[in-house]
Amino acid sequence: MPKIKMPKNSPSIDMTPMVDLAFLLVTFFMLISQFRAEEAAVIDMPSSVSDLKIPDKDLMMILVDKKDHVFFTITGQETRKKVLEKMGEKYKVVFTEEQKKEFSNMASFGMPMSQMKEYLAAGSTERKKLQEKSNGIPTDSTACELCDWVYYGRLAAIKYRVAIKGDQESSYPTVRRVMDILQDKKVNRFNLITNMETGPTE
C-alpha cells in the first residue's frame, strides 16, 4: 500500500512583497518626517479658513499660551546665537560657549533673562520644572524683555516673517500687548498662526 503523500509545498507563504512594501513605507515616512525640538508650551490654536502656508525657515514667532505666558523663538542657529549674545550684553549676563550652543538648538522658551543662565544649564526635566514655575517673558512696559527680543531678532534677521501663535483661551489684553510691542518695533505686518478649517462651518 502506498504511503499517503503529504502535500509538498511548504506552509510558509512568501512575505517578500509585504516586506518590500513595509520598507518602502519606512523610507517614505523617514524622508518626510522632520523632527522638532520640544516646544516649551502646549498651544491649542484656533482654526481659520485662511490657506496661507507658514514657512519653516526665516520665522520669528511669539507664542502665547493658555495661562497668558509669552514665549519666543526664532529660526536659524546662527541667528539665535547672535540674538542671545546681544541680549546677554544688554542684560549683563555672560553665557558660556556651551550655553550658547544649547540655546541655538532649543525650541521656544519663556524665561526672563535673570533665569536664562540657570535654564540653559539645566537638564531637560529640570528645565520643564523651571518653565512651569516661570511666568514667561516679561512684557510689561517697565521691564519689556520681549521688546528687546523682538528688537534684536529684527536686527539679526530683518527679512524674517513675524508670527503670533496664540492659544484659543489666551486672553485678548495679552495678545494685544504683543501686537503693540510688534507695532512699536515697526512690525506692522504679521501672521496669526491657526489650524486649518475646511470651509465655513458651524
Residues that bind other proteins (CB under 8 A): 15, 19, 22-23, 25-26, 29-30, 32-33, 35, 45-54, 64, 163, 165-173, 175-176, 179, 182-184, 186, 188-197, 200, 202
> Residue 116 or 193: which CB sits closer to other proteins?
193
Distance in angstroms (rounded) separating the CA atoms of residues 187 and 131:
28
> Residue 117 or 161: which CB sits closer to other proteins?
161
Min dist CB 122 to other proteins, Å, is: 25
> Residue 133 or 189: which CB sits closer to other proteins?
189
> Residue 97 or 202: which CB sits closer to other proteins?
202
Please state, in angstroms and as integers, the Cα–Cα distance from residue 196 to each residue in 45, 52, 66, 140, following that order: 10, 10, 20, 32
Cell of 13: 507563504
Closest CA to 110 of 146, 75, 78, 152: 146
Min dist CB 142 to other proteins, Å, is: 20
Min dist CB 68 to other proteins, Å, is: 10
Distance in angstroms (rounded) separating the CA atoms of residues 133 and 113:
14
Distance in angstroms (rounded) separating the CA atoms of residues 25 and 13:
21
